[in-house]
Amino acid sequence: MAASEVHLQELPSPAIENSKLSRLTSDEQGNLYLSWVTESGDSASLFYSQLTERGWSDPQAISSGSNWFVNWADFPALSVNEGNKAALWLRMSAEGTYDYDIDSRFYAAASNEWSNTATLHKDGVSAEHGFVAMLPLSGGSTLISWLDGRNTKVANGYGEMTLRAGIFNSRGATVQEWEVDARVCDCCQTSAALTEKGPIIVYRDRSSEEIRDIYSARYDSGAWTTPKPVYSDNWQIAGCPVNGPAVVADGSFVAVSWFTAKDDLAKVQLAVSDDSGDKFSEPVLVAAEGTIGRVDTAILKSGGIVVSWLDTSEEHAKIMLSHYDRDLQLLDRTEVATTSASRRSGFPIIEAIADSVYITWTDITDTPSVKIARADYSMER
């Protein structure tokens, strides 16, 4: 392991008490945004704040409601693009436990106003819709992918969960929409990145033999490529592990991290591609015994890859960062904070700005509260 110095600092959080489900995103100018959910009684609200030279801006409310679906693994999202913003959250649509829709509001910089709330998908079926990934595109539009349960509601039994994607303009109008994969795992997060050859989505597939490995599809020359495995773990599991992959790209370079547990052997793995995801390398082992996954991935300006994951090998779970060069040589491993392995602690999220990685998570030692820290890799030798 190469000698290095990583400076870790916990930052003040703009999130008020009883906050959770935080996510980080950045825009094309390198500005950082934090979004989170608060709950009070039967009502939930989505807020966001921007990190400025003076600290976090005053929290801004995007939406609130008493009929939201608030879930530890399926969380709201915010995307910022050329001054425009897209915000998504989940709303119960019927009496079924997992009958919920993706609601949205879009902020158009040109008109300086938010749109009215609208349901993102137009199928009108009371079924599961969620596990969203958002990717800014040129011209202020946004690519959004999600798990869509419109085909699960069949006369007898349960149909197939699908992966869908759409492009939406700065006002929230649908430009195009596709079914990307007709059979996928029911409740693992999706992730998207922009490569030199176009947008790529990674997700957990589901074969007829219940193999649930990580697949990718890329939008290329006006169509989606045939989905294919990032790597064939051949993990056969009867139910969804609720543990999605994370992808990040820099030009033609793509990195994907994911969790697998074939033969009950837990692993976090990392693979890379130098051709925009046409082919991926053999994976390296990021973590093994004692991990429960919950991964995210970022690329530093200097080129390194950072993977976040949870280590549960000791009494208290730990949020970990593993730093690799592009040849997948491990440079260092950093413990960010102790946390809980329970579902209430959710999924830590990371975002790279230059050679710093920002990390957010939910602390549940008392009232749930959003935490944020920064790991600075610019001092690395």
Residue range 163-204, pLDDT digits in tens? 999 999 999 999 999 999 999 999 999 999 999 999 999 999
Mean pLDDT for the stretch of residues 250-260: 98
Q: Tell me what the pLDDT averaged over the chain comes to.
A: 96
Number of H helices, E strands in the chain: 0, 31
Amino acid identity, residue 150?
R
The confidence band for 4, taking pLDDT boundaries of 50, 70 and 90, is low
pLDDT at 157: 82
The tokens for 9 are 């600092």
Does residue 1 carry a pLDDT above 60?
no
Q: What is the pTM of this model?
A: 0.96
3-class DSSP state of 210: coil
pLDDT of amino acid 5: 77
Query: How far apart are the C-alpha atoms of 372 and 156, rounded to whole Å?
Result: 46
Three-state secondary structure along 69-137? CCCCCCCCEEEEECCEEEEEEEEECCCCCCCEEEEEEEEECCCCEECCCEECCCCCCCCEEEEEEEEEC
| Cβ atoms of residues 346 and 369 within 8 Å | no
Q: Say whether domain 7-376 belongs to CATH 2.120.10.10.
A: yes
**Mean pLDDT of the 204-227 span:** 97
Distance separating alpha carbons of residues 236 and 231, to the nearest angstrom = 14
Contact residues for 381 (Cβ-Cβ < 8 A; gap 6+): 2, 3, 4, 5
Q: Which residues contact 87 (CB under 8 A, 6 or more apart)?
A: 35, 46, 48, 62, 63, 76, 77, 78, 79, 104, 105, 106, 107
d(CA 227, CA 206): 12
- The alpha-carbon radius of gyration of the chain (Å, integer) is 19
In which band, very low, low, confident or very high, does the pLDDT at 155 lie, cut at 50, 70 and 90? Answer: confident
- Reported confidence tier of residue 16, pLDDT bands at 50, 70, 90: confident
- Residue 276 near residue 256, CB atoms below 8 Å: no
Kindly tell me if the per-residue pLDDT of 380 is higher than 60: no
Per-residue pLDDT of 296-349, as tens digits, reads 999 999 999 999 999 999 989 999 999 999 999 999 999 999 999 999 999 999
Tell me which residue has tokens 């030009």. 251
> pLDDT above 70 covers what percent of the chain?
98
Alpha-carbon span 273 to 216, nearest angstrom = 12
